[in-house]
Amino acid sequence: MISSERPQPTAGTPLSACIIAFNEADRIQECIESLSFCDEILVVDSGSTDGTRALSAQLGARVIEREWPGHVAQKEFTIREASHDWVLCVDADERISPKLALEIIALKAAGFSGDRDAPAGWNMPRLTWWMGKPIRHGTWYPDRQLRLFDRRRGKWGGDDPHDKVILADGFDGKRGQLRGDLYHHSYRDLDDHLATINKFTAISAAGLHARGKRPQMGDLWLRPAWRFFRFYVLKGGFLLGWRGLALAFLAAHYVRLKYLRLRILCD
């Protein structure tokens, strides 16, 4: 039985953890438990049918159900619905590592250094697991992400499905650097990885098409070749053994499929 009790939030400036979710009942518990030092955990769910909402509420999260408007819009909605101005944004397949938690707790206790020259947001390295192993080479690491920030000075932007935090003018250079890893368990298995590639390339191609982009011949062979070379050779993917080779191929496949979809849309 899951207890609704969780460790008390730590002292200092209030902090809201913000999570978006859809059918994440198999992963949401570890995510929420890694955020126990936060003053609020907010889950915005887009119609899960696997018990994600009920489980999140049992674990002490505040849950809102909202139709899916896209990655950027959903994450921006979530931080605006949070109870506190300082927000920590994580996906349901991510966890705060113990080292990263200690760093954030220290910042929280210090009021996030609360003066005008202090960072408006904090980057953290993201470490992704693939087929049971952490991927510390290739383009997947350190994959620094700005996830801890003051929503009064930042917002979610980017192009779906590749969202990113944008700090307001005058604050973009004020980014702190954290050392602890944000753990990322992005794919349940190879089928899940391939399904994600199919879904994300369709979204990306549609976005490019809507913005009037047209593919060039080189997009179908030069870009994928470069992506493979960068992952496998320049970024040391070869040090990962067969996983590095597979991930380099999948990275190239992602690029090729995105521009192939765009080519079809432009016909």
Residues 64 and 136 in one domain: yes
State both tokens at 89.
């944004």
Question: CB 141: neighbour CB atoms within 10 A?
Answer: 18
How many domains, the chain? Answer: 2
- For the stretch 84-94, pLDDT in tens is 999 999 999 99
| Of 63 and 114, more confident | 63
Question: CB 157: neighbour CB atoms within 10 A?
Answer: 13
State both tokens at 8.
């008390």
DSSP code of 4? S
Residue identified by tokens 């849950």 is 63
Among residues 129, 164, 184, the one where a domain terminates is 184
User: What pLDDT, on the 0 to 100 scale, is given for residue 190?
Assistant: 97
Mean pLDDT computed over 60-89: 97
User: What pLDDT, on the 0 to 100 scale, is given for residue 168?
Assistant: 87
Question: Over 90: is that where the pLDDT of 115 sits?
Answer: no
Q: Residues with Cβ < 8 Å from 195, sequence gap 6 or more?
A: none
Task: Write out the residue range of the structural domain in which residue 170 sits.
Answer: 15-184
Residues 202 and 252 in one domain: yes
- Domain membership of residue 216 (yes or no) is yes
Residues 83 and 136 in one domain: yes
What is the spatial distance between Cα 113 and Cα 53, in angstroms, rounded to a whole number?
35
- Domain membership of residue 171 (yes or no) is yes
Residues 66 and 164 in one domain: yes
Whole-Å CA distances, 175 to 12, 23, 25, 103: 20, 33, 33, 15
Question: Over 60: is that where the pLDDT of 11 sits?
Answer: yes
- For the stretch 135-159, pLDDT in tens is 999 999 999 999 999 999 999 999 9
Residues 46 and 164 in one domain: yes
Question: Over 80: is that where the pLDDT of 10 sits?
Answer: no
What is the spatial distance between Cα 114 and Cα 209, in angstroms, rounded to a whole number?
43
Q: Positive or negative CA dihedral for 66, 79, 91, 27? A: negative
- For the stretch 171-219, pLDDT in tens is 666 789 999 999 999 999 999 999 999 999 999 999 999 999 999 988 9
Whole-Å CA distances, 130 to 18, 134, 147, 180, 232: 24, 6, 22, 19, 15
Residues 119 and 197 in one domain: no
- Domain membership of residue 174 (yes or no) is yes
